Amino acid sequence: MEQPVLKVSGLETHFFTDDGEIPAVDSVDFYVNKGEVLGIVGESGSGKSVTSLSIMQLIQAPGKVVGGEITYKGENLISKSEKEMRKIRGNEIGMIFQEPMTSLNPVFRIGNQLIEGIRIHKKWNKKKAWEHAVSILKLVGLPRAEELMNEYPHQLSGGMRQRVMIAMAMACEPEVLIADEPTTALDVTIQAQILELMKKLNKETNTSIIMITHDLGVVAEICDRIAVMYSGKIVEQGKTQDIFQHPKHPYTIGLIESVPDVRVRKDRLYSIPGNVPKPGSIQKGCHFAPRCNFAFDKCYEENPTLLDAGPAQQARCWLHEDAKKAAVLERVKS
């Protein structure tokens, strides 16, 4: 059995607002193995970004991690002090953010921003760090790496900035790379370049990647396993192929069906009725029940647990308590 590099269990991150305590992330469990790419998919407000920030211990007030464990190399990150976390961030676990425009400091040269982390974590002198930074820029496929080191972020295009962000995250050879919507702000042709680069880095350096995105196409492209989030909970998880071919949760089915496909034209798009509920607005029962076509009495009474729905697949849906009931989903798919 493979040992997971990073394991999250029972993670609870709540926001303490004037309207009360809002559970943005509600007992979330997942793990990433060495060299694996895990996708966390969800719509806005599903808690996917809060999950990633919780791993890095970057949640700011009024948010707070109130429960659970994040185990990295046998140690619980939640009990770490800020000083200890600093040694882990960037060094052991790297992060790429969505907006390449706002995540780079506009008043420092690319080189200075790149070597800052390297010098702190590796304790190298300036010259050595500089050389390493140049080699990393080359690794992420940027042309004229030496010159770029002396340029400012505004001189680069969006795709190049995102490559610099990836270079920065990869500079200290982290074990785990968390990428929060790394291609959302980019055009498709540039997105294709960045995804190709991430695949290459994953293969060559064996870095584990947690890919957080709302785009099912991106997930299908790059991930080995997927966790689908809805309203602060993981509602389905499994291997990428299984989830796309045999989605077991009504929400996942709806999500896959509602994407307009470039390959075939559907007569009419399937759409999930209603809106994503505000976190904390549903007190009782399954959070998806009000929008679900298959909901029955139990769904409104009790929130389901993650039930086995296949050899390596779980879904948070009462239909999977009983094989007969689950058959309904197969019929709908076909």
Partner 1 sequence: MQEALLEVKQLKKHFPIQGGVLKQQVGTVKAVDGVTFTLHKGETFGLVGESGCGKSTTGRMLMRLLEPSEGEVLFDGKEMTTLNKKDLRHLRKDIQMVFQDPFASLNPRHTVEKIIEEPLIVHQLGNKAERKKRVRELLEIVGLSAYHAKRYPHQFSGGQRQRIGIARALAVNPKLIIADEPVSALDVSIQAQVLNLLEDLQKELGLTYLFIAHDLGVVRHISDRVGVMYLGRIVEMADSEKLYLDSKHPYTQALLSAVPVPDPEYGKDRIILTGDVPSPSNPPSGCPFHTRCPKAMDVCSSVVPEFREIEPGHHTACHLYEEDLV
The footprint of partner 1 (CB under 8 A) covers 43-44, 157, 159-160, 187-193, 195-196, 214-221, 240-241, 244-245, 254-256, 258-263, 265-266, 268-273, 275-276
Give the count of alpha carbons within 13 A of 216, CB side only: 20
Q: At closest approach, how far in Å is the CB of 282 from partner 1?
A: 15
Q: At closest approach, how far in Å is the CB of 231 from partner 1?
A: 12
Q: Which is nearer to partner 1, 128 or 239 (CB)?
A: 239
Give the tokens for residue 106. Answer: 């506009």
Q: Which is nearer to partner 1, 106 or 273 (CB)?
A: 273
Q: At closest approach, how far in Å is the CB of 293 from partner 1?
A: 13
Q: At closest approach, how far in Å is the CB of 220 from partner 1?
A: 5
Q: Which is nearer to partner 1, 171 or 218 (CB)?
A: 218
Nearest to 30 by CA among 43, 39, 21, 42: 39
Nearest to 229 by CA among 34, 27, 2, 3: 27
Q: Which is nearer to partner 1, 203 or 266 (CB)?
A: 266
Q: Which is nearer to partner 1, 46 or 91 (CB)?
A: 46
Q: At closest approach, how far in Å is the CB of 325 from partner 1?
A: 23
Beta carbons within 10 angstroms of residue 271's beta carbon: 9
Secondary structure (3-state) at 5: strand
Q: At closest approach, how far in Å is the CB of 201 from partner 1?
A: 15
Q: At closest approach, how far in Å is the CB of 186 from partner 1?
A: 9
User: Which residues does 120 contact at the CB level (< 8 Å), separation at least 6?
Assistant: 90
Q: At closest approach, how far in Å is the CB of 26 from partner 1?
A: 19
Give the tokens for residue 172. Answer: 């200290």
Identity of the amino acid at 202: N
229-263 in b/e form (b: 16+ CB < 10 A) is bbbbbbbbbbbbebbeebbbbbbbbbbbbeeeeee
Q: Which is nearer to partner 1, 55 or 228 (CB)?
A: 228
User: What is the Cα–Cα distance from 317 to 326, expressed in whole angstroms?
Assistant: 9
User: What is the Cα–Cα distance from 196 to 83, expressed in whole angstroms?
Assistant: 35
Q: Which is nearer to partner 1, 172 or 227 (CB)?
A: 227
Chain length of the chain: 334
Q: Which is nearer to partner 1, 60 or 271 (CB)?
A: 271
User: What is the Cα–Cα distance from 287 to 235, expressed in whole angstroms?
Assistant: 10
Q: At closest approach, how far in Å is the CB of 261 from partner 1?
A: 6
User: What is the Cα–Cα distance from 239 to 242, expressed in whole angstroms?
Assistant: 5
Question: Look-up: residue for tokens 């400091």?
Answer: 105
Q: Which is nearer to partner 1, 167 or 172 (CB)?
A: 167
According to DSSP, the residues that pair with 22 across neighbouring strands are 15
Provide the pairing of β-strand 233-239 with 225-230: antiparallel
